[in-house]
Chains A and B, each alone.
Chain A
Amino acid sequence: MKSLSKVFALICVAMLLLAACGPAATEAPATQPPAQEPTMAATEAPATEAPATEAPATEAPAASGGCPLQVEDGATITFSGWGDETEQKIYRDSIDRFTALCSGVTVDYQPIPDKFQDKLKAQMAGGTAPDVFYVDDQLMNAFAPSGQLLALDDYMSQAGVSRDDFIPALLTIFTQDGKTYGLPKDWGTLGLVYLPEAFQAAGVDEPTDDWTWDDMRTAAKTIADAGTYGGFCMGADWARFAPFVFSNGGSFASEDNKTATLDTPEVKEMGTLVGDMYTEKSLVKPDDVGASWCGEAIGKKLVAMTTEGGWMVNFMKQTYPDVEWKAVQIPNGPKTRADIVFTNAIGVNAATKYPNAAAALALYITGEENQGDIVKTGFAYSTHPDQADLVQDPNDKAISSGGLLPDTKVAFWGPNTGKVNQAVSDALSRVFLGDQTVDEALAQAQTEAQAALSGQ
């Protein structure tokens, strides 16, 4: 009896230890809307379309004529990325197509769905990082300056791939000293997403592709004054403010990422527009109307308009299937029409044992053929401009068209990008709070961003 209780106690202790060591499930999906992490959100392929992704795989070898590079025989490479089940499935399929093409290469796919960047930095420091992995701006800044990433230009020229094959804005982040350290694997952008019933209720014409920000403001004011719906939804978020600034010929920082440009008239003008809209109540924050992000506010039919990206398609399909919504291209600004793009790339570990095989995988995944297959799943946009037509969903197509505009940019300002963008978000917070005028808030943001750009 006594020994039995001892055994029991031991088991209890062992279980506690195991429980303590196990990975904690900390991610609450609803609290992490795409609004906070404007990476390309995973969008699920409709079940009916799934077989279509398999079909081209069998035809591929004949069409393309083989592996992008001469690979090492018997090479085994590991590949890591984030992503949920859907994304993992899409990448498993891509890897299957790749191994069918490049015989002799084994790819060990090790997805890291949570805390990818933290884990990869630790792995890289310990020398156990995968050969091929996703690279975002944070990893690019952590790895590229100290030479942990393989420059891909030689491999690209061997495979006959040119930088011009990609949408130009996307390569900005992954280029350093003229060398390419990552190939864009997908991207996202913002479009004007709206709720048609709100426009009908207020008797306002629905947005069109040639709307300006002022048209948007007028409509938002009329709808908000009617009272049933909020006008335009926007949080204190640099990513949502960027299209305003870019379309007025402004930017957060100068071309060389040395000087902050947040106190220029271009930025102030658009800041004033946003601030005035908030004062006249035609602009609401998502939490003003009881949503955690603006996409949810559309789903809950709380607001008439917002700027969101391609992730809306599957978010609405899954969470609010009965709500009818539409999207048009991002509105025209005073000077030009410009949007913001978010992107991630595939990079190769500089210390890989099989550089050819690893580079071949990166080239294949981001190549036209594989990108074309991924677009058809509705998961992401192709990083090749000539494949823009492959986007299926009409709303998605309208949103994605903003990414190809000539003045569209990524919000990347060098090593301290995060701090610069944070300064913009904080300035918007202070304006919305009524703590500061637009000029005061932007003046403060300017000094903060300048300090960040000077590396302080």
Chain B
Amino acid sequence: MTTITKMEGKPAQSGRMLAAIVTFLLIFIVLMAIGLMNAPTMGGPKVMASAATYLAEVQRTALPFMGAVAILAIVLGLVYARAVYRVWPNHRRRQNMIMGYLFLSPYLLITLTFTVGVILFAFYISFTNYDIFTSPQWTGLSNYAKAFRGFSDPTQKDFIQSLYNVFWYSFIVVTVQTSLAILLAVLLNTPMKAKQFFRTIFYAPSVTSSVVITLIFMWLYLKTGFINFFLAKFFAVLGMHWQNINWLNDPRGLIQLIVTPFGVHIPSAQWYLKGPSITWMAVMFQNIFTTVPTFMLMFLAALQDVNPALYEAAAIDGANGWQQFRKITLPLLRPIILLVVVLGTIGTFQTFDQVYLATKGGPLGTSLTPAYIIFREALGYQGPIQMGYAAAMAFILAVLIFIFSYIQRRYISNETQLY
């Protein structure tokens, strides 16, 4: 690449330089403007009254942040200026580059302002004490330490408990939804009548808003709701009595339910031994119901790519249906399984709407999730607004998701290489 540009580098030397400088300035100005819009200052009517008051406030509190953005802008500006400098003499590539970025620019600007800029803001805020209305106070890593103090101080267990909940959630939901999705996809892939009809029916839960589904499930889960009604009828047929359960307000844990008949009592102080609560498993069930169809569709698409000749050959060799599934279908689906597992993990770690609508984190914190706690602290539902603490927890969650996705990628995709 460099050799080509060097060969063509003779004409329009000054034009190149000018273009590079313009690029640098443009990038610098745009990034600084975006930084300015996302500067971590206090809010409130006095600051937001006019552009001048806002700038004065930025000058007062956000200079370190603007400095960091400026360094970033200079580095990016230099990188792009260099690229432009190299490409400029080649007419076709110059044209391509300009057109490419021109078409990208609307989306790029919006993303930079409302996503990247906000993330930078949040990252800065996570090291400060910030309640929106007063200037952020630099507190170093104390917000991150605060998130984990539940290990030593049982009164501050909320975030730890939410992580504990979400690990169970992720483990159970991802396992069940992936298996179910494969099963449904394989079933729908076999020659059968009214295939389109079943595909539509199975997919319906995924196109329904999760808010609507949550509201419907809240009715189903009532103590006098349909689920208890059907279970009672079912057990009555077997001659047994079904004790109605208030599905969305029962903190008894899975492990607790298993060991209680053996006379083992798990005290409340050891909440982490109790396992996921009935409420939490009810939310899991509902989540599985909503997400399985989406992933089923992915598996179905992947199954279309499997060469039917493989099954024929296997059948001739005497492999039965199960063996074909084990030795052909599953290995060939591996890349999609990776995708589904990773997407499922990310989705479950970020669970929010079901909790917000149905349980509000209760009972006894057994349905708290990190995303819900972040929301609660950021908006000050139970105490003062703690934007900095919320931002710190958001970054901890992001790091956890990254680690888990990375591990899964290592484990599942390594074996994918074989096929």
Contacts and interface: CB of A to CB of B under 8 A. Distances in A.
A142 B267 contact: no
10 contacts: A24-B209, A26-B211, A28-B215, A117-B379, A127-B44, A127-B48, A415-B384, A416-B382, A430-B364, A435-B268
A349 B218 contact: no
Contact of A290 (B133, B155, B223): B223
B45 A287 contact: no
A363 interface: no
Interface of B: 42-49, 131-134, 153-156, 209, 211, 215, 218, 222-224, 244, 246, 249, 251-252, 267-269, 357, 363-365, 379-385
A: contact size bracket: 35 or more
B45 A129 contact: yes
A444 B133 contact: no
A277 interface: no
Given A124-B43, A419-B382, A292 B222 contact: yes
A439 to B, nearest CB: 13
A450 B156 CA distance: 11
A148 B44 contact: yes
A125 B218 contact: no
A259 interface: no
Nearest to A426: B364
Contact of A451 (B132, B155, B249, B251): B155
A257 interface: no
A435 B384 contact: no
Nearest to A349: B45
A143 B46 contact: no
A336 interface: no
Given A125-B48, A141-B380, A419-B382, 7 more contacts: A118-B379, A128-B48, A146-B131, A290-B223, A351-B44, A415-B384, A429-B364
A121 interface: yes
Contacts of B223: 287-288, 290
B44 A125 contact: yes
A127 B379 contact: no
Contacts of A128: 45, 48
A290 B131 contact: no
A83 B364 CA distance: 30
A17 to B, nearest CB: 15
Given A146-B44, A456-B155, A418 B209 contact: no
Contact of B43 (A26, A125, A290, A417): A125
Given A290-B223, A433-B251, A456-B155, A142 B385 contact: yes
SS of B interface (majority): loop
Contacts of A87: none
Contacts of A288: 223
A287 B249 contact: yes
A121 B49 contact: no
A435 B380 contact: no
A121 B381 contact: no
B133 A143 contact: yes
A373 interface: no
Contacts of B244: 290
Q: Which of B42, B223, B380, B383 has the most CB of A within 10 A?
A: B383
A422 B156 contact: no
A127 B209 CA distance: 33
A148 B45 contact: yes
Contacts of B357: 26
Contact of A447 (B43, B133, B155, B246): B155
Contacts of B384: 141-142, 145, 415-416
A91 B184 CA distance: 56
A126 interface: yes
A146 B45 contact: no
A312 B290 CA distance: 37
A418 B133 contact: no
A417 B384 CA distance: 10
A176 interface: no
A121 B45 contact: no
A138 interface: yes
B347 to A, nearest CB: 18
A48 interface: no
Interface in A126-172: 126-129, 138, 141-143, 145-148
B43 A127 contact: yes
Contact of B153 (A121, A415, A451): A451
Nearest to A422: B382
Contacts of B365: 426
A448 interface: yes
Interface in A411-435: 415-419, 422, 426, 429-430, 433, 435
A121 B380 contact: yes
A125 B382 contact: no
A351 B45 contact: yes
Contact of B380 (A142, A147, A422, A456): A142
The 7 closest A-B pairs by CB, nearest first: A127-B48, A125-B43, A351-B45, A418-B382, A146-B133, A451-B155, A290-B224
A127 B223 CA distance: 45
Contacts of A419: 382-383
Interface in A346-364: 349-351
Nearest to B149: A456
B343 to A, nearest CB: 20
Nearest to A117: B379
A450 B218 CA distance: 34
A452 interface: yes
Nearest to A423: B155
A78 interface: no
Contacts of B224: 290
A436 interface: yes
B298 to A, nearest CB: 21
A43 to B, nearest CB: 25
A436 B155 CA distance: 16
Interface string A88-130: 0000000000000000000000000000011001001111110
B383 A141 contact: yes
Interface in A313-358: 349-351
Nearest to A449: B155
A296 B45 CA distance: 43
A3 interface: no
Contacts of B42: 146
A145 B268 CA distance: 36
A125 B132 contact: yes
Contact of B385 (A26, A121, A451): A121
Contacts of B211: 24, 26
A415 to B, nearest CB: 5
A278 to B, nearest CB: 15
A5 interface: no
Contacts of A426: 364-365
B156 A351 contact: no
Nearest to A435: B268
A141 B382 CA distance: 10
A9 to B, nearest CB: 17
A213 to B, nearest CB: 26
Contacts of B47: 127
Q: Which of B45, B47, B48 has the most CB of A within 10 A?
A: B45
A407 to B, nearest CB: 27
Contacts of A349: 45
A29 to B, nearest CB: 11
Given A31-B218, A444-B268, A451 B43 contact: no
Interface in A199-214: none
Given A28-B215, A124-B45, A125-B44, A138 B132 contact: no
A146 B132 CA distance: 9
A382 to B, nearest CB: 30
Contacts of B246: 287
Nearest to A447: B155
A30 to B, nearest CB: 9
